[in-house]
Amino acid sequence: MDVFEKLVKTALLYTFCFLNVIDMAQTVAFLRMGIEGNSFVVYYPHLWFLLKFGIALGLPLGLYRLDVYLDAKEDEGFFSSMEMFVNFLYVIVLFADLFFFSLVLRNMSILGRLLP
C-alpha cells in the first residue's frame, strides 16, 4: 500500500468513526428529549448503543487490519479476490460517510431549532 492510498483509506475510516460518534450523541440527545423517530432506539436503547458502537469502531478497525494483511500476502489466488472485496467495502464506507454527513447536518439543524 503506497502512502497516498494509505492516507485516503485511513481518512475515510476516521471520518466514518467520527460521523458515527456524532450521530450517536445526536441520537442520545433526541432520545432524552423524547423526539427520536427510530423505534429500535426507543425500545432497545442499550442494544442499539452496543451495535452502533461496534459498527462505528469495529468495522473500520477490522477492515483496515484485513486490508493490511491482504496487502502483505500480495497475489496468492484467493487473497487477490479478497482484495477486490475489501476495496468494495471501502466504497461502501465512502457512501456511508456521505449518508452520515447528511444525517448529521440534518440533525444539527433540528437540534439548533430545539435548543435555546
The per-residue pLDDT for range 82-100, each reduced to its tens digit, is: 888 899 999 999 999 999 9
Quick check: 45 pLDDT over 80?
yes
DSSP string, the chain: --HHHHHHHHHHHHHHHHHHHHHHHHHHHHHHHT----HHHHH-HHHHHHHHHIIIIIHHHHHHHHHHHHHHH-S-THHHHHHHHHHHHHHHHHHHHHHHHHHHHHHHHHHHHH--
Percent of the chain with pLDDT over 90: 56
Quick check: 101 pLDDT over 90?
yes
Break the chain into its structural domains and give their ranges: 3-114
pLDDT band for position 116 (50/70/90)? low
Give the pLDDT score at 18: 94
Hey, how many other C-beta atoms are within 10 angstroms of the C-beta on 40? 11
| 9/18 Cα distance (integer angstroms) | 14
Quick check: 26 pLDDT over 80?
yes
